[in-house]
Amino acid sequence: MPVLQDDLSQVFSALADPTRRAILARLAHGDATVNELAEPLPMSQQAVSKHLKVLEQAQLISRTRTAQSRPCVLETGRLDEAVEWVARHRQVWADRHDRLEQHLSKLRSASEGTP
């Protein structure tokens, strides 16, 4: 059965990798070139470029053109969508947790009341 790759899936897939999260964290402080992003990472510039391609496909970054340079820019729109999804589902999960806790409390009370 084929799995559809929607926008949100691409974002979470891109965020699943610690190197890509480190790149996004760096870009949160300002635009950077591939060389600047690769400098602190223990990998080649080509490996960093592959990570950037994944981030670009997930629309988490874009590349601009400034003279000879192509700096990477953080795009927060997709991150905002992911945060909104998590926030909506967090409330559902919290409600379920609360109901489970109430149920377990009733079970404990019932078992303590039984001789």
Q: So what's the pLDDT on residue 115?
A: 54
Q: Tell whether 26 is covered by a domain.
A: yes
As for how many domains the chain has, the answer is 1
Q: Tell whether 56 is covered by a domain.
A: yes
Range of 13's domain? 7-113
Q: Helix (H, G, I), strand (E, B), or coil: what is residue 92?
A: helix
1/11: higher pLDDT: 11
Q: Tell whether 48 is covered by a domain.
A: yes
Q: Tell whether 34 is covered by a domain.
A: yes
Q: Tell whether 13 is covered by a domain.
A: yes
Q: What is the pLDDT of residues 80-93, one digit of tens each?
A: 999 998 998 888 88
Q: How confident is the model at residue 3 (pLDDT cuts 50, 70, 90)?
A: very low
Q: Tell whether 1 is covered by a domain.
A: no
Alpha carbon distance, N-terminus to C-terminus of the chain? 53
Question: Long-range pairs for 4-8 at CB < 8 Å and ≥24 separation?
Answer: 7/58, 7/59, 7/78, 7/81, 8/81, 8/82, 8/85
Given a cut of 60, is residue 104 above it in pLDDT? Answer: yes
Where residue 68 sits, what CATH number does that domain have? 1.10.10.10
Within 1-115, residue ranges assigned H as helices are 7-15, 18-27, 34-38, 45-57, 77-113
Q: Tell whether 2 is covered by a domain.
A: no
Q: Tell whether 53 is covered by a domain.
A: yes
